[in-house]
């Protein structure tokens, strides 16, 4: 099939960007969306033009590096799927696809479709951990965790940190990301000791990074490639309130 | 740890939501009372019950206190809401060229700012028409004459534009009759809703209420951390049926009732 | 027989006591001195993140570099199935010795006993540590940890978190890392790529890194440098590795004196989604855990295979008697759970014989129909008291169980292929997955360059010629959490007098100039072909001639072809854009340039190893039944390659002595 692409091109964080139109021919339905970009880039290089910069790494939907805003939706039209796992069979011959970078003040564009998500790392550094030094742990089975709690914690922990929640949110809020980590540790006995400090530090850092605040549209949940639930955001709110009241 | 004190809660992103939730849910609660009281407009007593109710609402010290808290709540809800709207816009300085919000969220949830602004305008107009005029403007008085034995109203007489009285309502007994002279807010309502464009304005605004509450009621619980798979359906049903359908529909029925019963 | 240039520094004593004794006697560094000792960690996967976090906890000043945009994206994250540990929680007879034995046997007796035993010893601690960090492993209803079994073993010792074990373990290590970043003990350099090491007076003292956003070159000093940069499977272009996975850090170290161990040992994973076309950029693994419940088969009759390939026959319509469950047939004891190398070769053998089942003829079936209905479906039916369940009932009941166990994998398969694996058998084919070879290290994990260490997949040490499933995560974390924090003390305790060396030192200047020159050279080729063009060609040569099966003449051809391709690359590669900006093509070009050198060495190593062992299968050396034929007499050694000039190498041997395990023919029959 033949596809028309309108892709955001921006040389670096300082210069202004614009859309460029490209035509990609003979796209196979078995190609992944990124493989279609590979083909396009190959053509651009052959033509002596600069290829489109985009972030990607594992190409199996788990590293969280790929980040394209496709036809008005992060990671494209499917639910529970990253850009790298989106295949061209989700599109039709003759389609025009608009591709933009994640847009948020806290995710400045580096080049073309690649953005800087280091704000997520700083939020994690603020409290997304259990303070346990190597070598101090007791036997793993001495901590009993009900299966339901472990499963719930796992669902929250499945977050890949791609930032689709921020990209989807009309407010560029990072609440789903933050709440997933806070929830994982709040649900487990290991996370109890630092429960209050953790949520306060992480929320403070989130606010400092310039993310918007949540208005419960639920767009994050709908677009999350790992189907992280907004129940986590409610839990985050609860954790934060109780931490603030207890302090 | 000064930044962690309790008050800083309210400047954080979560604190802002909590303020919106608490104030919003309080206003929802008020709406229940308001709609219940206003049902008296439908009573075929030439407005006696409604007018008495209006007096009660504006004179009882307890209710008065609550109503001042309510005004404050509305102001906080509106200001905080508008601030959030503007702050959130700053969080995305470059907008998307193509944005498919309907694919992942409901229209109402994305337009709370606009809906809220419509409602703010509505509240100002509404308060001016019925609260300000009632309190400070010139609302005429009506005399109701009720037969004590049967409780049947035999007469409702307009006291004319020049009639003035020290209080909003006076009651007296004379013979077999009870006489009530009361500020006739009912008449104001009736007069206003004779005009089509006022009716339309109210109905449209009730549409905004519906959408605002369709998202807002459920959202308030989420912001307060009350999200539980077992109860979510209940919150959602209450939000949808009571706050997004029954309450706005009931309010909208009032102007329509007067318009079509001229 | 061991080369004088190689000293593995294996401690004396009985195997079971070596590590504990060594650990208790190794030199320590005073906490006050640790603050002045700087350690550079390259790579932020399981090995890198765990090492960096632990060293920072101990008080060292640590800098961590990764080329991804965040430490959390390292490719350890993609590991699916699980992590082994000799906990014996299942009471099925597991022990440290048994894990050690299975690993050595699984590695086809080509790993270093002492390292492997240590790995088994610390395996239990890893699980403890991860659980304490909040890693949400799968649990039983009683709240205890759950286990499953993996290929090549007869016990259940694999801990897992659905099909995302690597992710959960990495996020655990990443959280420990970020905690230290938060305290300031670690400085994190994401989107930085190490492009050279800096040696001063025979010791490794730092690195040159390129800031991938600005293109600037940076000099960083460290008293020691840890390479935790993963494996080099991408030399094959198509592999299950991430697109960015590369050999560059290890290769630059190799060029500066670190010997490369067993480069030809690559693991081909049997259960990957087959190639669909020329556009393919990577291959996706379907977890080995699927082999617990999936039965692997091809049609017995060639005409059936042909009909399936032509799309004329639905595999579900082939009668059980007409199916060849070749693993169960050939290896009745282990069946579908034979080690990866054995399963991969068996698939290739069937496809080469003409029984492949997809359009390219390179795929076999992994079929869940039987277990779904008659194992899980029947179990559920019995549980629910359904007598004489219908086929549909069995399917529905079984589907729920299979969904719970493998749902995410089934979804992923459907997403990629467009075929629903609940109703149709999956198609799988082997693909390059892991490299057992890597930088040669001693017992301390130090390379032949003093002060330069290699951890995790980047070193060669623990898996011999073949790695067992769920052992890569174990090794990465063992090295990072529990080995290097002790063994590095042995070196750094002698470095407390060394003040931080200024990065103005001539060795830094020289190294940076070298890197700059190389980058200039790449940019100035200004040829006509993209980097991928060369990478794909290299991959094809490697896969065909140094892949699942190798022979002397093919390897010799490959060497010549790679040399020729390398020349073409340096004459005709085109890299658009500028050097001093974010330029992914330039990054790729540097990595492919290194692969073009490594590929040749891999072929040389494969050529010298005149035997078949583990992942290295030489067609000339097989039994009559087609099984690998080892030559313990002549090849029980590690080949450690020293680079002596431009694409010139000398091989050194480290003899492998098996004192605690009786070396035997590996049999899974």
Residues 6+ apart with CB under 8 A from C588: C531, C532, C535
- Examine the domain organization and report whether C410 and C514 are in the same domain: no
CA B222 – CA B14 distance, rounded (Å): 11
For the record, the structure tokens of C93 come out as 């007879």
Beginning with the edge strand found earlier in the chain, give each strand of the sheet holding C203-211 in spatial order: C192-200, C203-211, C217-221
The C-alpha of A130 sits at a distance from chain B's nearest C-alpha, in angstroms, of 20
- What is the pLDDT, as a whole number, of residue C149? 83
- Does residue A178 sit at the C interface (CB-CB below 8 Å)? no
- What is the pLDDT, as a whole number, of residue C542? 98
Portion 78-107 of C in contact with A at CB < 8 A: 78, 87, 89
Spell out which residues of chain A touch residue C416, defining contact as CB-CB under 8 Å.
Answer: 32, 85, 87
Asked whether at least 3 C-beta pairs link C and B within 8 Å, the reply is no
DSSP label at C613? B
Look at B225 and A234 and tell me if their CB atoms are within 8 Å.
Answer: yes
CA A33 – CA A82 distance, rounded (Å): 10
Portion 9-28 of B in contact with A at CB < 8 A: 9, 12-18
Report whether A76 contacts A113 (CB < 8 A): no
Inter-chain Cβ pairs, chain A and chain C, closer than 8 A:
232
Q: Can you state the angle between helices B196-223 and A231-246, rounded to 10 degrees?
A: 70
- Examine the domain organization and report whether C561 and C420 are in the same domain: no
User: Looking at the domain assignment, is residue C154 inside a domain?
Assistant: no
- What is the pLDDT, as a whole number, of residue B165? 86
Tell me the pLDDT tens digit for each residue of C606-664: 999 999 999 999 999 999 888 899 999 999 999 999 999 999 999 999 999 999 999 88
Look at B103 and A77 and tell me if their CB atoms are within 8 Å.
Answer: yes
The subunits that touch chain C, with at least 3 C-beta pairs less than 8 Å apart, are: A
User: Looking at the domain assignment, is residue C517 inside a domain?
Assistant: yes
- Does residue A219 sit at the B interface (CB-CB below 8 Å)? yes
Beta bridge partners of A20: A7
- What is the pLDDT, as a whole number, of residue B2? 40
Above 80 in pLDDT, residue C75? yes
Of A51, A137, A153, the CB nearest to C128: A137
- Examine the domain organization and report whether C421 and C516 are in the same domain: no
- Examine the domain organization and report whether C517 and C406 are in the same domain: no
- What is the pLDDT, as a whole number, of residue A129? 98
Look at A153 and C136 and tell me if their CB atoms are within 8 Å.
Answer: yes
Above 70 in pLDDT, residue B252? yes
Q: What's the domain range around C569?
A: 504-655
Average pLDDT over residues A172-192: 98
Portion 92-111 of A in contact with B at CB < 8 A: 98, 100, 103-106
Look at C243 and A118 and tell me if their CB atoms are within 8 Å.
Answer: no
**For C176, which residue in chain A has the nearest alpha carbon?**
A129
User: Looking at the domain assignment, is residue C363 inside a domain?
Assistant: yes
User: Looking at the domain assignment, is residue C420 inside a domain?
Assistant: yes
Q: Choose one of C432, C461, C478: the last residue of a domain.
A: C432
For the record, the structure tokens of B145 come out as 């004459």
How many alpha carbons fall within 13 Å on the CB side of residue C528? 1
Tell me the pLDDT tens digit for each residue of B176-228: 999 999 999 999 999 999 999 999 999 999 999 999 999 999 999 999 999 88
User: Looking at the domain assignment, is residue C211 inside a domain?
Assistant: no
How many alpha carbons fall within 13 Å on the CB side of residue A90? 22
Above 90 in pLDDT, residue C352? yes
Provide the annotated active-site residues of C. 340
Q: What angle do CA C79, C252, C546 make, to 5 degrees?
A: 60
Spell out which residues of chain A touch residue C132, defining contact as CB-CB under 8 Å.
Answer: 130, 132, 136-138, 143, 190
Spell out which residues of chain B touch residue A106, defining contact as CB-CB under 8 Å.
Answer: 91
Look at A217 and B16 and tell me if their CB atoms are within 8 Å.
Answer: no
C228: buried, middle or exposed (CB in 10 Å: 19+, 13-18, 0-12)? buried
Tell me the pLDDT tens digit for each residue of B160-179: 888 888 889 999 999 899 99
Report whether A179 contacts A128 (CB < 8 A): no
Q: What percent of chain C shows pLDDT beyond 70?
A: 100
When divided into structural domains, chain C yields a total of 2
Look at C69 and A116 and tell me if their CB atoms are within 8 Å.
Answer: yes
C98 pLDDT band, cuts 50/70/90, is very high
- Does residue B4 sit at the A interface (CB-CB below 8 Å)? yes
Tell me the pLDDT tens digit for each residue of C399-417: 999 988 888 889 889 989 9
- Does residue C530 sit at the A interface (CB-CB below 8 Å)? yes
Residue with tokens 């073309």: A112
Distances (CA, A) of C40 to B27, C65, C66, C225, C254: 59, 8, 11, 5, 17
Taking alpha carbons only, the member of A44, A53, A36, A34 closest to residue A114 is: A53
Q: What is the mean pLDDT of chain A?
A: 96
Above 90 in pLDDT, residue B137? no
Above 80 in pLDDT, residue A73? yes
The interface pTM score, or ipTM, of the predicted complex is 0.98
Tell me the pLDDT tens digit for each residue of A15-46: 999 999 999 999 999 999 999 999 999 999 99
Spell out which residues of chain A touch residue C592, defining contact as CB-CB under 8 Å.
Answer: none
User: Looking at the domain assignment, is residue C346 inside a domain?
Assistant: yes
- Does residue C239 sit at the A interface (CB-CB below 8 Å)? no
Kindly provide the b/e burial profile for residues C351-360, where b requires at least 16 CB atoms within 10 angstroms of the residue's own CB: beeebbbbee
Helices (H), C384-530: 391-417, 472-477, 484-492, 506-525
Above 70 in pLDDT, residue B4? no
Dihedral, B239, B245, B250, B253 alpha carbons, nearest 10: 160
- Does residue A59 sit at the C interface (CB-CB below 8 Å)? yes
CA C248 – CA C256 distance, rounded (Å): 12
Residues 6+ apart with CB under 8 A from B30: B70
Residue with tokens 């004379």: B174
For the record, the structure tokens of A232 come out as 């986590």
**What CATH architecture does domain A3-111 belong to?**
Roll (3.10)
Spell out which residues of chain A touch residue B14, defining contact as CB-CB under 8 Å.
Answer: 203, 213-214, 236-237, 240-241
Average pLDDT over residues C199-208: 98
Above 50 in pLDDT, residue C152? yes
- What is the pLDDT, as a whole number, of residue B229? 85
Above 90 in pLDDT, residue B11? no
CATH of the domain at C559: 1.20.58.100
> What is the rounded end-to-end Cα distance, in angstroms, of chain B?
65
- Return the H-helix or E-strand segment holding A157: helix A147-157
- 3-state secondary structure (DSSP) of residue A107: coil
Look at A212 and B88 and tell me if their CB atoms are within 8 Å.
Answer: yes
Dihedral, A187, A191, A195, A197 alpha carbons, nearest 10: -140
Above 80 in pLDDT, residue C65? yes
CATH of the domain at C402: 3.90.700.10
User: Looking at the domain assignment, is residue C259 inside a domain?
Assistant: no
- What is the pLDDT, as a whole number, of residue C162? 86
C56 pLDDT band, cuts 50/70/90, is very high
User: Domain spans of chain A?
Assistant: 3-111, 118-246
Average pLDDT over residues B25-52: 95
Of B4, B9, B222, the CB nearest to A216: B222
> pTM here?
0.95
Q: Which long-range contacts (CB under 8 A, 24 or more apart) does C301-305 make?
A: C302/C354, C302/C355, C305/C354, C305/C355, C305/C356, C305/C357
Q: Is the dihedral of CA B215, B221, B223, B225 positive or negative?
A: negative
- Does residue B230 sit at the A interface (CB-CB below 8 Å)? no
| Widest CA span in chain B | 77
B127: buried, middle or exposed (CB in 10 Å: 19+, 13-18, 0-12)? middle
Above 80 in pLDDT, residue C62? yes
Mutate which: A179, A224, A237, A247, vs B, most B CBs within 10 A: A237
- Examine the domain organization and report whether C508 and C393 are in the same domain: no
Report whether A177 contacts A159 (CB < 8 A): yes
**What CATH architecture does domain A118-246 belong to?**
Orthogonal Bundle (1.10)
Q: What angle do CA C469, C470, C473 make, to 5 degrees?
A: 135
- What is the pLDDT, as a whole number, of residue A133? 97
Mutate which: A35, A51, A60, vs C, most C CBs within 10 A: A60
- What is the pLDDT, as a whole number, of residue B230? 86
User: Looking at the domain assignment, is residue C570 inside a domain?
Assistant: yes
Spell out which residues of chain B touch residue A170, defining contact as CB-CB under 8 Å.
Answer: 88, 92, 101, 105, 110
Distances (CA, A) of A163 to A64, A116, C79: 8, 10, 21
Q: Choose one of C401, C432, C463: the last residue of a domain.
A: C432
Q: What is the mean pLDDT of chain C?
A: 95
Of B9, B84, B227, the CB nearest to A231: B227
Taking alpha carbons only, the member of A4, A38, A3 closest to residue A20 is: A4
- What is the pLDDT, as a whole number, of residue B1? 39
- Examine the domain organization and report whether C409 and C513 are in the same domain: no
For the record, the structure tokens of C175 come out as 């959280």
Look at A62 and C78 and tell me if their CB atoms are within 8 Å.
Answer: yes
Structural domains of chain B, ranges and CATH numbers in brackets:
10-92+103-139+185-260 (1.20.1300.10), 144-183 (no CATH)
In terms of pLDDT, which residue wins out, B136 or C69? C69
- What is the pLDDT, as a whole number, of residue C50? 98
For the record, the structure tokens of C491 come out as 């070196």
Helices (H), B39-152: 48-59, 61-90, 107-110, 112-126, 133-135
The subunits that touch chain A, with at least 3 C-beta pairs less than 8 Å apart, are: B, C
CB atoms within 10 A of CB C67: 27
- What is the pLDDT, as a whole number, of residue B5? 66
For the record, the structure tokens of B248 come out as 């706005």
């Amino acid at each position: 099939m033949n596809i028309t692409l309108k892709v955001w091109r921006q040389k670096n964080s300082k210069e202004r960007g614009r859309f460029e139109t490209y035509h990609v021919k003979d796209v196979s339905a078995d190609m992944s969306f990124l493989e279609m970009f590979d083909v396009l880039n190959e053509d651009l290089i052959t033509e002596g033009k600069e290829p489109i910069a985009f972030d990607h790494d594992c190409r199996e939907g788990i590293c969280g590096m790929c980040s394209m805003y496709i036809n008005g939706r992060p990671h494209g039209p499917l639910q529970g799927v990253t850009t790298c796992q989106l295949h061209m069979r989700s599109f039709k011959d003759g389609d025009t696809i608009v591709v933009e970078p994640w847009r948020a003040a806290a995710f400045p564009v580096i080049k073309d479709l690649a953005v800087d998500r280091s704000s997520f790392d700083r939020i994690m550094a603020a409290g997304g951990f259990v303070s346990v030094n190597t070598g101090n742990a007791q036997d793993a089975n001495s901590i009993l965790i009900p299966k339901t709690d472990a499963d719930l914690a796992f669902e929250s922990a499945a977050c890949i940190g791609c930032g689709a929640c921020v990209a989807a949110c009309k407010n560029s809020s990072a609440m789903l990301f933050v709440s997933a980590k806070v929830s994982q540790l709040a649900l487990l006995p290991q996370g109890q000791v630092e429960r209050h400090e953790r949520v306060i530090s992480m929320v403070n850092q989130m606010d400092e990074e310039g993310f918007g605040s949540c208005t419960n549209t639920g767009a994050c949940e709908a677009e999350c490639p790992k189907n992280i639930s907004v129940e986590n955001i409610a839990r985050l709110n609860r954790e934060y309130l109780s931490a603030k009241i207890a302090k | 740890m000064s930044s962690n004190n309790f008050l800083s809660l309210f400047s954080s992103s979560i604190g802002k939501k909590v303020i919106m939730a608490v104030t919003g849910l309080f206003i929802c609660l008020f709406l229940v009372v308001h709609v219940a009281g206003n049902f008296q407009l439908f009573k075929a007593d030439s407005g006696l019950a409604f007018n008495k109710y209006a007096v009660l609402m504006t004179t009882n010290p307890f209710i008065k206190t609550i109503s001042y808290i309510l005004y404050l709540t509305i102001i906080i809800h509106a200001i905080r809401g508008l601030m959030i709207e503007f702050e959130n816009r700053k969080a995305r300085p470059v907008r998307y060229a193509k944005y498919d919000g309907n694919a992942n969220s409901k229209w109402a949830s994305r337009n709370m700012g606009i809906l809220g602004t419509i409602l703010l305008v509505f509240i100002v107009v509404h308060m001016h028409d019925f609260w300000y005029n009632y309190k400070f403007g010139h609302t005429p008085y009506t005399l109701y004459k009720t037969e004590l034995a049967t409780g049947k109203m035999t007469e409702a007489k307009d006291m004319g534009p020049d009639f003035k009285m020290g209080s909003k309502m006076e009651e007296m007994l004379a013979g077999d009759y009870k006489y009530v002279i009361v500020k006739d807010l009912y008449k104001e309502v009736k007069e206003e809703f004779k005009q089509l464009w006022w009716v339309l304005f109210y109905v449209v605004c009730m549409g905004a209420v519906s959408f605002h509450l369709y998202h807002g009621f459920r959202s308030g619980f989420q912001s307060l951390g009350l999200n539980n798979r077992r109860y979510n359906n209940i919150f959602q049903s209450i939000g949808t049926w009571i706050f997004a359908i029954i309450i706005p529909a009931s309010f909208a029925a009032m102007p329509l009732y007067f318009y079509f019963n001229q | 027989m061991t080369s004088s240039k190689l000293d593995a520094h294996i401690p004396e004593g009985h195997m079971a006591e070596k590590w504990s004794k060594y650990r208790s006697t190794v030199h320590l560094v005073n906490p006050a001195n640790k603050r002045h000792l700087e350690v550079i960690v390259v790579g932020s996967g399981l090995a890198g993140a765990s090492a960096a976090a632990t060293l920072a906890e101990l008080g060292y000043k640590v800098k961590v570099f990764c080329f991804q945009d965040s430490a959390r994206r390292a490719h350890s994250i993609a590991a699916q199935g699980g992590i082994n540990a000799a906990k014996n929680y299942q009471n099925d007879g597991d022990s440290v010795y048994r894990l050690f034995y299975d690993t050595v046997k699984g590695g086809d007796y080509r790993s270093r006993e002492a390292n492997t035993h240590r790995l088994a010893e610390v395996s239990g601690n890893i699980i403890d540590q991860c659980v304490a960090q909040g890693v949400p492993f799968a649990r039983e209803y009683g709240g205890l940890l759950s286990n499953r079994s993996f290929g090549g073993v007869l016990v259940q010792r694999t801990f897992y978190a659905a099909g995302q074990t690597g992710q959960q373990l990495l996020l655990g290590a990443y959280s420990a890392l970020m905690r230290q970043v938060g305290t300031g003990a670690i400085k994190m350099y994401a989107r930085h790529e190490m492009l050279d090491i800096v040696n001063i007076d025979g010791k490794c003292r730092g690195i040159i890194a390129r800031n991938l956003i600005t293109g600037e070159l940076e000099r960083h000093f460290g008293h020691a440098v840890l390479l935790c940069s993963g494996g080099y499977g991408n030399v094959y272009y198509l592999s299950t590795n991430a697109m960015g996975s590369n050999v560059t850090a290890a290769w630059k170290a190799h060029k500066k004196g670190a010997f490369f161990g067993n480069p030809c040992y690559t693991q081909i994973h049997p259960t990957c989604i087959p190639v669909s076309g020329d556009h393919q950029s990577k291959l996706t693994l379907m977890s080995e855990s699927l082999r617990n419940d999936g039965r692997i088969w091809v049609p017995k009759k060639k005409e059936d295979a042909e009909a399936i390939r032509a799309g004329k026959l639905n595999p579900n319509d082939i009668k059980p008697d007409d199916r060849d469950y070749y693993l169960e047939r050939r290896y009745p004891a282990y069946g579908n759970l034979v080690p990866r190398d054995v399963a991969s070769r068996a698939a290739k053998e069937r496809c080469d014989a003409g029984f492949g089942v997809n359009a390219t003829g390179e795929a076999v079936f992994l079929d869940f129909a039987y277990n779904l209905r008659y194992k899980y479906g029947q179990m559920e039916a019995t549980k629910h008291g359904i007598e004489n369940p219908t086929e549909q009932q069995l399917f529905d009941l079984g589907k729920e169980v299979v969904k719970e166990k493998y749902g995410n994998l089934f979804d992923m398969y459907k997403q990629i292929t467009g075929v629903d694996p609940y109703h149709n058998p999956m198609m799988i084919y082997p693909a390059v997955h892991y490299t057992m070879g890597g930088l040669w290290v001693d017992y301390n994990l130090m390379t032949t360059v003093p002060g330069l260490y290699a951890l995790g997949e980047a070193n060669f040490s623990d898996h011999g010629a073949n790695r067992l499933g769920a052992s890569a995560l174990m090794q990465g974390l063992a090295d990072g959490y529990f080995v290097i924090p002790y063994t590095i003390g042995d070196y750094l305790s002698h470095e407390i007098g060394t003040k931080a060396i200024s990065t103005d030192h001539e060795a830094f200047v020289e190294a940076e100039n070298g890197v700059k020159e190389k980058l200039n050279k790449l940019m100035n080729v200004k040829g006509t072909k993209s980097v991928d063009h060369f990478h794909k060609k290299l991959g094809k040569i490697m896969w065909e001639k140094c892949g699942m099966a190798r022979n002397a003449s093919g390897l010799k051809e490959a060497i010549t072809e790679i040399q020729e391709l390398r020349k073409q690359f340096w004459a005709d590669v085109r890299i658009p854009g500028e050097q001093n900006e974010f330029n992914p093509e330039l990054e790729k070009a540097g990595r492919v340039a290194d692969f073009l050198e490594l590929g040749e060495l891999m072929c040389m190593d494969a050529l010298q190893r005149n035997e078949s062992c583990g992942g290295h299968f030489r067609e000339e050396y097989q039994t009559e039944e087609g099984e690998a034929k080892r030559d313990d007499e002549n090849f029980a050694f590690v080949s450690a390659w020293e680079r002596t000039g431009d694409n010139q190498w000398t091989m050194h041997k480290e003899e492998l002595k098996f004192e605690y395990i009786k070396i035997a023919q590996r049999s899974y029959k």
